[in-house]
Chain A
Amino acid sequence: DTGVSQDPRHKITKRGQNVTFRCDPISEHNRLYWYRQTLGQGPEFLTYFQNEAQLEKSRLLSDRFSAERPKGSFSTLEIQRTEQGDSAMYLCASSLGQGAKTQYFGPGTRLLVL
């Protein structure tokens, strides 16, 4: 257990539905990252926050995706109008400070869109 928690661990939804995932980072970590991992591939960067500010978004993050970190603590990732191609593992990670380098990952949320 790295200290990063994600909820839910598994989500099955029908195409077109909205889903929201939550990530609770290690409490003193000010940086929070979201990654997406499809079967047989390494994780791919989606977005990251420093405190409550979203500082970068990947081109993978279409306008159906939105992420927030309202108080600089937990974060949510919402996918609107889900598509089958959104099926993946969504991983959250946190780190302490700029250039801290080591990111600690949560267990992930596995999404299946039917």
Chain B
Amino acid sequence: SQQGEEDPQALSIQEGENATMNCSYKTSINNLQWYRQNSGRGLVHLILIRSNEREKHSGRLRVTLDTSKKSSSLLITASRAADTASYFCATDSLSYNTDKLIFGTGTRLQVFP
């Protein structure tokens, strides 16, 4: 089963605009990660944020984490057409004795040139 949900399910923006995606999860976590998936392809790791961190940046990406609300957000600034993809958050849970990832349902981002 999925760990949680992402919101919105789909997002369409113009190039140059910012895109914000939200992720909610259910159990206590060690870390939360964001992955990108181009249509029909494998997943590419974007960024990892630890449970004791609140914000992290990588290039045009900004991730926040609120463990009290069990939620995270991914902000992509100055979007490009090449950012068109599905974005998934994934958590590794304190409840599980493995490093397996539990994924959200994904946000499909479309960036129009």
Contacts and interface: CB of A to CB of B under 8 A. Distances in A.
A101 B92 contact: yes
Given A2-B42, A110-B40, A45 B100 contact: yes
B98 interface: yes
Interface stretch (B43-51, B53-61, B66-74, B77-85): B43-51
Nearest to B3: A42
A110 B104 CA distance: 20
Given A48-B98, A55-B98, A56-B98, A106 B42 contact: yes
Interface in A73-114: 89, 91, 93, 95, 98-108, 110
Nearest to B6: A42
B42 A95 contact: no
Contact of A101 (B35, B41, B88, B99): B99
Contact of B106 (A42, A48, A89, A108): A42
B2 A33 contact: no
B89 to A, nearest CB: 9
A43 interface: yes
Number of contact residues on A: which range applies? 20 to 34
Interface string B1-42: 110000000000000000000000000001101010000111
A42 B105 contact: yes
Interface in A40-83: 40-45, 48, 55-56
Nearest to B5: A42
A99 B99 contact: yes
28 contacts: A4-B42, A33-B101, A40-B105, A40-B106, A41-B2, A42-B2, A42-B103, A42-B105, A43-B88, A43-B101, A45-B100, A48-B98, A48-B99, A91-B42, A93-B43, A93-B101, A95-B99, A99-B99, A101-B30, A101-B31, A102-B48, A103-B45, A103-B99, A104-B45, A105-B42, A107-B41, A108-B41, A108-B42
